[in-house]
Amino acid sequence: MDFALQSPLITTMVRRYPDLLYQSLPLSGYRTFVYGPVCINRQSRGQGVLEGLFNAMLQTLKGRYDVGVAFVSELNPRSLHAHQNKLGMKIIDEFEFNGRKYWTLVFDVKSKGRKRKKP
């Protein structure tokens, strides 16, 4: 997490953890990591690449963290859609940084991964 805090945007998000609830507990009470960003080549989109990467990450980090945390800009509705609908992340906060709105999304690392949709 120390590396991630070198980013002022991430620091802004992380400072809000004590006030953000996930499953009835403050986000600061969990072992967390910051997920992302992810960029999928245009020709590879819709083929399950994002879900595959995400599931591999979950398997690798299971037991080390409780919750993953991501942020998405209001300027990127495609990313928000992918993270909510394909990966099952939940929005728990909205914050502003440098005049732009961002959403904080969370996901449980203990889950067995997300079902991959067929292309």
Q: Which residue has the higher pLDDT, 5 or 52?
A: 52
Alpha-helical (H) ranges within 8-114 are 8-14, 49-61, 77-81
Distance CA 72, CA 77 (A): 8
Q: Are 52 and 87 in contact (CB under 8 A)?
A: no
Question: pLDDT, tens digit, for every residue of 17-59?
Answer: 999 999 999 999 999 999 988 889 999 988 999 999 999 999 9
| pLDDT score, position 4 | 54
Q: Are 17 and 27 in contact (CB under 8 A)?
A: yes
| pLDDT score, position 36 | 87
Q: Which residue has the higher pLDDT, 74 or 115?
A: 74
Q: What is the mean pLDDT of the chain?
A: 89
As given in the structure block, the two tokens for residue 76 are 């990127």
As given in the structure block, the two tokens for residue 17 are 């953890």
**Look-up of token digits 């996901």:** 107
In Å, what is the CA distance from 75 to each residue of 30, 55, 63, 79?
Answer: 29, 26, 34, 9
